[in-house]
Structure 1
Amino acid sequence: MVDVSQHNLVPEHTILDEDDVEEVLTEYDIDRTDLPKIERLDPASPDGAEVGDVVKIVRDSRTTDEAVVYRLVVE
């Protein structure tokens, strides 16, 4: 079976620790539930992602070199 998370077109997905999550939420003045969602079983989700975790996704961008987005892991 192919591991989709290792494909070169899938951007880097990283689970944030709680300190980093708090910094992001404070920076954007939002609650955790305001973040866009990603399913726990999504093939691109990092191994070990649990419901309630926040995932940082770093994508290549033509205009800013890289774009960072955050997703809340849901069931």
Structure 2
Amino acid sequence: MVDVTDHELVPEHELLDEEVLEEVLDEYDIDRTDLPKIKRRDPGLSAIDAEPGDVVKVTRDSRTTDQAIVYRLVVE
């Protein structure tokens, strides 16, 4: 079976702990529910144990900046 997280086009997904999450939410002055959503069954999440309500940091390569970081709320 192929592990999609090893593919070069799948960005890195990292589960945020609550302390780091609070810093991010404070920095952007938003609530957890204001974040864009990602489904729990998304193939990019297969390597981490993300549950609904968790927040994931997605780090993508970017042509205009070295890396683009986005945050997603995991939903069912």
Alignment RMSD, CA only?
0.9
Please, which runs of 5 or more residues in structure 1 have no aligned partner?
none
Aligned AA (1:25): L
> What residue number does 2:27 align with?
27
Residue 7 in 1 paired to residue 20 in 2? no
Please, which runs of 5 or more residues in structure 2 have no aligned partner?
none
> What residue number does 2:43 align with?
43
Q: How many corresponding residue pairs?
A: 75
> What residue number does 1:62 align with?
63
TM-score in terms of structure 1 length: 0.94
Q: Which runs of 4+ in 1 moved over 2 A?
A: none
After TM superposition, give the deviation of residue 63 of structure 1 in Å: 1.2
Q: Is the 8 A contact 2:52 2:75 kept in 1?
A: yes
Alpha-carbon distance between aligned partners in 2 of 1:25 and 1:51, rounded to the nearest angstrom: 17
Percent sequence identity is 72
